[in-house]
Structure 1
Amino acid sequence: MTGSRGAGTGGRRAARGQISGRAQGRGRKAKRGPKKIFAVVSISVAVLLVAGIGALYLKLNGNITTFDANGLSKDRPSDTAGQNVLMIGSDSRAGGNSALGGAAGQDVAHSDTTILLHVYADHKHAVGVSIPRDSLVDIPPCLLPGGKWSPEQPSAMFNSAFSMGDSPSGNPACTQNTVEKLTGLRVDHTMVVDFKGFAAMTAAVGGVQVCMPNNVYQGDLNPNLGYKGNLIFPKGLQTVQGQQALNYVRLRHGVGDGSDIGRMRRQQAFLSSLMKKVQGEGFSPTTLLPLADAATKSLTVDPGLGSADKLLSFAMSMKGIDLHDIKFITAPWRYQGERVALVHPDVDALWAELKADRTIDGQDASGGKKPAAATASPSATPVSDVTGTGIVVAVYNGTMDQGLAAKAAQKLRSDNFTVTGTADATSRQHPTTLIEYGAAHLQGAQTLAKLFPGAKLEQTATAGINLVLGQDYASSAASGTSGGSSPTPTALPSQDASQARSADDNPCSNLSYG
């Protein structure tokens, strides 16, 4: 019994020891438990984070619409240094956009604004060039919704390229083809944003600071209203977003001369403020993700930008550019009746600067990367190569300089123009050379204008083309630079460069034209 008890006692002691050992073991396990729990939680969080990022990318990718690359020209310029991105603002009323503005029942999209953004190879400079929507340009053949290609359209309004095919979503490929033909620059990417997307983006960043040079009323926003209406934009600085931001960039009447040129200046100021706002907030997920979500929902892009990571990569390529080195400029222009003519060779000089990756003030911004050979711009033909075959011109001296008409006539004949005669103009006080042309002779007048940079074109009742030489030609003739004796310049004229806006400029400066 004793032995039994002893054995029992020992067993109980052993049992207690085992229990104690297990308890100690549990105690040791309990000390390791938080680390294991932390590891499990960390792995779980990582899995959820990766899944969340994946879901976010899928969401953003699902937002993006791409246009058909088959509509791009088969004869495109070569790659050049830097990157060229075409940004188009569409007034499409499709997809819920009709509630934000425009004529009721309008089902054909038009381009409200077009900017060619050149990001230099050094990733320290960028310039956005606004192309006036009423510019007269040559529109190349474009793919239509039915699968046919349109014929080439000489001297057509620039914004009609986006409307080719009368599609509710527009024809961005046609606009890209037109810009490449106009500039001789290869467009790397094209993106189109509509009303809804623009309004959402401005709301996503919490509004953008803008300025008005004067009070603007409902009747200015809608000239068909018939009365002044309420004040919608007070004079001075203010923050706008959503519909109000859209109204700001679309407003044309009631400011300056009410022209599209003035509106482009305000659009440039708006984009400058938007860039300033995004950079000020920092390139963080909290800033970029809401903006990316808003943007991608209403973006139509070329297939090369058709994913969230590609769009983000493009956005990040702008990250290191100082606001002062982001410039906006309008392509050199002049009025031609109710339309706008791009000024040659000034505009050709601008395209040449971008092609060579030089800034608008002539600095090399290639970052040591030699620009690739590029095809010449169709518009940038050296004036020495202009041919006047089949173009008949009468030459008049609009200055007091003797023999000027004969000198110009001699040059014209050497370039195969047919000169019907020379004479003194009725007025001998013309400061600027004038080219008068009949309705059927626009193309001939434009060809002639390439030999007389800065000449004013004016449609009249004349049956042909009259060249009235001004003091500008007399001065250049005296210095030996007139009549096509020099090739297209390689520096942007100072009067055009001086109009450039930096993204850090005062938001109240340079807001209108006229």
Structure 2
Amino acid sequence: MTTSHSAAPPRRRHTAPEPRGGGNHNVRTGRRRRRSRLRITLVIALSIFVLGAAGLGWIFLKLNGNIDTFSADGISGDRPKAAKGENVLVIGSDARTGGNSALGGGDKGDIGRSDTAFLLHVYADRQHAVAVSIPRDTLVTIPPCKLPDGSWTKKRTNTMFNAAYSVGQTANGSPACTQNTVEELTGLRVDHTVVVDFKGFAELTDVVGGVKVCLPQDIHQKDLNPNRSTQGRLLFSKGEQTVAGQKALDYVRIRHGIGDGSDIGRIKRQQAFVASLITRVKSDGLTPTKLLPLADAATKSMTVDPGLGSADKLISFAMSLRDIDLHNTKFVTIPWRYEGARVAIVQPDTDALWAALKADRTIDGKDASGKKGAATTSAAPSADEPPSGDGVDVAVYNGTTTRGLAARAAATLTDHGFTVTGTANASTQDHADTVIEYGPGEKNQAQSVAGLFPGAQLQSASSTGISVTLGRPYAAEGPSAEATGVPTVVADDARSADDDLCSNLSYG
């Protein structure tokens, strides 16, 4: 017998009975939908973040590939100590390598030379900055520098400043030797060095859409190249105009045909150009989005020290300058005078300038160190009646190994009306105390001098004349408010980034 089985009845799906009123069901459904939307939002946000990070990473990788660094092996081991603020040496190179000969002319196999240079001091408060131009013909001391074969040169005195960049006679030049020379000259530690060549400069001006400049007169080809036999075509018309690329490069290289045709006059126009470039960049907004195209253009033809050898470091440094107001961005030139066809440094004014920067004191005498309660103007001595130096001549000698000390003291004396007859190193640099010597009948005048040097010893001498020999206590004090005034000759010739574009464009 066979038994047949009927087909199994379809399985019934059981659902939970709806709660009374149905309200909780709607709440749970709403929660599930919100959680679902939240998950979708998080996924989208995460995707955007990943894609954005990947894109930013690619950009930084690209920028890193653009940047060249010079070896730190050539930087001197005998360096000034780090002080307040930050110092960046900017060198304009006329190297003809890497396509630069097409823009600047000349033999692409020639050695690299420094066409222009300035030391940018960014104050500790990140609200002020000053660029100090150093004329290329300035007679300076070039310290020992490393050659390509690993040996070091001997110290050279009374040598043109731009010769430092040509040490080693290589096509790429020697940024390290120029940095060593600037540290020797200023007594300031150079935190970073940046070299920009013709190509990088021209591309940078293209990216920002051109830079406004002003010419005091019409400029022809012969003004750019004095070796021409004819005047040539008109390059620039007198007055305001916008330049970019090759024209921008031609503008900053013009030396002859304006004023006395000197490098000093060209420096004034270069300062005006950099001020105008900063104005243009800040008007566009100093944001990462705006900075990336600029960084791409700049880094393609830029050589930096290892400390700035990555895109994030360069952009971070640029972003740290965003709060510096145009009026607080100053341009000056070291105090100078002609010595034949060369430029000689004027003392004690130059050392007083370096002392002011070391103390983070601005061109107009403000304390920009960022410290709470910092004085905003140069303070007078604390005595009830400040010493008066009217009719008093004083010689100043540095009796310590601290560089720039005599210039600092000279600036203090000059600020209070004394006449400084000269500054020099003392016969020995181990003086434990500051000593003020005076001749017969000069004690009262010497006491006025002593009012500026608390703790100084007064000593009579048989010969006439007042002198100050600075000792270790004065060096240990550090630059004081009244000792770090910027010389008038520097302050009066300073340019602010917001100055009239057509003012102060030439010398002579």
- Shift of residue 229 of structure 1? 1.4
Q: Work out whether residues 426 and 469 of structure 2, in 8 Å CA contact, stay in contact via their aligned partners in 1.
A: no
Cα distance in 2 for residues equivalent to 1:298 and 1:387 = 47
Show the 5 A alignment for 1:269-348. Answer: 269-348=272-351
- Letter in structure 2 aligned against 1:497: A
TM-align CA RMSD: 3.3
CA shift for structure 1 position 103: 1.7
CA contact (8 A) 1:384 1:484 kept: no
Q: C-alpha distance in 2, partners of 1:326/1:265?
A: 15
Question: What is the match of residue 498 of structure 1?
Answer: 492
Cα 1:337–1:387, aligned 2, differ >3 Å: closer, same or farther? farther
Per-residue CA shift, 1:27-82, capped at 9, x if unaligned? x9999877655543332222111111111111111111111111111111111111
- Contact persistence 1:214–1:235 (CA under 8 A): yes
Q: 2:67 is aligned with what amino acid?
A: I
The answer on 1:243 being equivalent to 2:246 is yes
Partner of 2:384: none
Counterpart CA distance in 1 for 2:298 and 2:221 is 28
2:227 maps to which of 224, 235, 244: 224
1:353 corresponds in structure 2 to: 356
**Take 1:90 and 1:496, find their aligned partners in 2: how far apart are those partners?**
26
Distance 1:29 1:353, change over 3 A: closer
**1:427-506 equivalences in 2 (<5 Å):** 490-506=484-500
Note the C-alpha offset of 1:301: 0.7
Change (3 A) 1:155 1:379: farther
Give the conservation status (yes or no) of the 8 Å contact 1:184–1:351: yes
Task: Give the Å deviation of 1:218.
Answer: 1.3
Whole-Å separation in 2 of the counterparts to 1:309 and 1:39: 28
- Please give the per-residue CA displacement for 1:275-308, whole angstroms capped at 9, x wherever unaligned: 1111111112332110011111111111111111
Q: Tell me, which stretches of 5 or more residues in structure 2 are unaligned?
A: 1-5, 16-30, 375-400, 411-421, 429-438, 440-463, 471-478
1:102-251 matches, cutoff 5 A = 102-251=105-254
Q: Secondary structure at the match of 2:327?
A: helix
1:93 positional shift: 0.5
Task: Choose which of 492, 500, 503 in structure 2 pairs with 1:509.
Answer: 503
Give the direction of change, closer, same or farther, for the CA distance of 1:34–1:323 in structure 2 (3 Å limit): same
Aligned-residue sequence identity (percent) comes to 60
| C-alpha separation in 2, matches of 1:103 and 1:137 | 27
Deviation of 1:498 after TM superposition, in Å, equals 0.6
Match in the other structure for 2:461:
none
Q: Which amino acid in the other structure matches residue 143 of structure 1? A: K
| Partner SS, residue 226 of structure 1 | coil
Deviations 1:472-504 (A, max 9, x none): xxxxxxxxx999769897423213211000011
Provide the C-alpha distance between the structure 1 equivalents of 2:173 and 2:122, rounded to a whole number of angstroms: 25
Q: Summarize the alignment of residues 12-27 of structure 1 with structure 2, pairs less than 5 Å apart.
A: none
Asked whether the equivalents of residues 406 and 423 of structure 2 are also in contact (C-alpha less than 8 Å), the reply is: no
SS in 2 for 1:280: helix
How far apart in 2 are the matches of 1:379 and 1:57? Answer: 47
Per the normalisation by structure 2, the TM-score is 0.74
Q: Structure 1 residues 378 and 101, CA, compared in 2 at 3 Å: closer, same or farther?
A: farther
Greater helix percent: which structure?
1
Deviation at 1:266, TM superposition (A): 0.6
The Cα shift of 1:361 comes to 2.2
* Contact 2:132/2:332, CA 8 A, preserved across alignment: yes
**Secondary structure of 2:193 counterpart:** strand
Q: Is the 8 A contact 1:221 1:252 kept in 2?
A: yes
Q: Does 1:376 align with 2:403?
A: yes
How many angstroms does 1:16 deviate by? 13
In structure 2, give the amino acid aligned to 1:208.
Answer: V
Distance in 2 between residues matched to 1:181 and 1:30, nearest whole Å: 71
Q: Which residue of 2 aligns with 1:464?
A: none
Is structure 2 residue 84 aligned with structure 1 residue 57? no
Kindly tell me the number of residue pairs found equivalent between the two proteins: 410
Secondary structure at 1:223 match in 2: coil
CA distance in 2, matches of 1:62, 1:248: 30
